[in-house]
Amino acid sequence: MSSSSDPTVRQTPPVAATGDATDTILATQQLTKKFGGLTAVDTVDFTVEEGEIRCLIGPNGAGKSTLLELITGQLRPTNGEIYFDGQDLTDLEPHERIDTGISVKFQSPHVYENLSVEQNLQIPLQRTDRDVDSVMATTLEQIALTDKAKMRAGDLSHGQQQRLEIGMALTLDPTLMLLDEPVAGMSVEETSEVAELIESLHADGMAFVVVEHDMEFVREISDQVTVLNQGQIFRQGSIEEIESDEDVRRIYLGENA
């Protein structure tokens, strides 16, 4: 008699079960979010390996932002679980999830326009016991805004504001960074600056989940790509596999054609 389909006996996180070379840092199990009659995220088993850059793509309304907001705790799932670093996050508050090592830059901008660049970075830093001066200096350098430290955030360019927001997430010293459309509306040059920033943080071991429509950007940074469609994982693979997949072209690339 198999008990594997009985949800009441599923006690051990899937991450602890494997002993292979790669370690899963994030795993959702049967994760589901319904908004009334609409199932925005539908029984999703989504896993991310330690230190990888995963890109999440899919048509508008596929459920990408909802999936990220379930992972950060902004939204509560209708069903399913979320494990991070072997810990069950499902019932934790957003700030408790941050403390486990997850940082996020949401789709809509969240910088404080009337504060300086430096003051914006100080806000998330207040909740840590990290050394403010040294983290500030390092972060400003990473996001290439050292010479703009005293500038009002509202006076920065769009690209600089996006980098500042990534910087705010960085001050929390995450092991996993979630970025929702980090290069939307950016110039080619601004986009490649963000790609470089992600690559250099990745080289230091940080894992990423990046939601993005810009396929050139996805090609540049991704290890693996997950395609979401109508709330479900539709495909997963290398960018080459995804781009040559006829069904993906139909549901996703066709939309932009």
Question: Which residues contact ligand ADP by CB under 6 A?
Answer: 35, 38, 40, 58, 60-66
72 binds Mg ion (CB under 5 A): no
CB of 66 to ligand ADP, least distance (A): 3
Q: What tokens appear for 78 in the block? A: 């209708």
CA 1 to chain centre: 39
Nearer to ligand ADP, 64 or 235 (CB): 64
The interface partner of residue 63, options being ligand ADP, Mg ion, none and the CB cut-off 5 to 8 Å by kind, is: ligand ADP
Least distance in angstroms from the C-beta of 80 to ligand ADP: 15
CB-count burial class (<10 Å; 0-12, 13-18, 19+) for 5: exposed
Q: Is 222 in the site for Mg ion (CB under 5 A)?
A: no
Alpha-carbon span 181 to 21, nearest angstrom: 31
65 binds Mg ion (CB under 5 A): yes
Give the residue from 175, 111, 110, 121 showing the smallest Cα distance to 146: 121
Both structure tokens of 100: 């486990």
Q: Which is nearer to Mg ion, 64 or 97 (CB)?
A: 64
Shortest distance (Å) from residue 135 CB to Mg ion: 29
Taking residue 23's Cβ as centre, other Cβ atoms within 10 Å add up to 13
Q: Which does 35 bind (CB under 5 to 8 A by kind): Mg ion, ligand ADP, none?
A: ligand ADP
- Closest distance of CB 63 from ligand ADP, Å: 4
Residue 248 binds which of ligand ADP, Mg ion, none (CB < 5-8 A, kind-dependent): none
- Closest to ligand ADP by CB, 56 vs 102, is 56
* Binding at 58: pick from ligand ADP, Mg ion, none (beta carbon under 5-8 Å per type): ligand ADP
Supply the DSSP symbol for 153. Answer: G
Q: Compute the half-sphere exposure of residue 150: CA atoms within 13 Å on the CB side of its CA.
A: 0
Tell me if 66 contacts Mg ion by CB under 5 A: no
Q: Least distance in Å: CB of 58 to ligand ADP?
A: 6
d(CA 210, CA 103): 12
Place of tokens 């499902």: 90
**CA 31, CA 90: separation in Å to the nearest integer?**
10
Nearest to 207 by CA among 239, 179, 175: 175
Residue 61's region, left for phi above 0, alpha for psi from -120 to 50, else beta, is left
Residue 137's binding partner among Mg ion, ligand ADP, none (Cβ under 5 to 8 angstroms by kind) is none
66 binds, among Mg ion, ligand ADP, none (CB under 5 to 8 A by kind): ligand ADP
Q: Which residues bind Mg ion (CB under 5 A)?
A: 64-65
